[in-house]
Amino acid sequence: MDAQALTHTEVRLPENHRSAALAREFTRKTLTRWGHRSWQDAAQVVSELVSNVLMHAHGEPVVRLMDIDGGIRVEVWDASPQPPVIQRSGPGGLGMQLVERLSTSWGVSRRGRGKIVWCQLPAVPNPLPA
């Protein structure tokens, strides 16, 4: 990780169809509590990464959010060693294109027998009071 995390939190989600919605709500509440004005891009990215775990990997997804200098780092862990694939044509693969488009950087790291898919998003500063 390039930037030092100022604070972080994580949640383990069930391996079921409700997890993406739970991840979005966790992201919204966390980023609002941390004072981030905009959380929509982070919620979309988290939702996509959790959906990928449920569709293409296995195990309970774990979402970690980190408030870093200059932005937010999102990590989603799962028990599969297979990295996500960005498909440039054909059906499917559009979710990782969304992750790539919304983040300043992203990647995959090994974790035990599984992996962490991570990305960083720029901070959207709160407006100054008038």
What is the residue extent of each domain of the chain? 5-122
In this predicted model, what pLDDT tens digit does every residue of 83-126 receive, in sequence order? 887 777 666 667 899 999 999 999 999 989 999 999 999 876 55
Contact 91, 109 (CB under 8 A): no
Alpha-carbon distance of 3 to 72, in angstroms, equals 10
**Six token digits for residue 105:** 């950087």
CA distance 73 to 59: 22
CATH code for residues 5-122: 3.30.565.10
- What is this structure's pTM? 0.87
Q: Measured between alpha carbons, how far is 23 from 14 in angstroms, rounded to an integer? A: 10
CB 74 within 8 Å of CB 53: no
Task: Give the number of C-alpha atoms closer than 13 A to the C-alpha of residue 15, restricted to the C-beta side.
Answer: 11
Instruction: List, for residues 59-75, the tens digit of each pLDDT value.
Output: 899 999 999 988 999 99
| Predicted pLDDT at 129 | 53
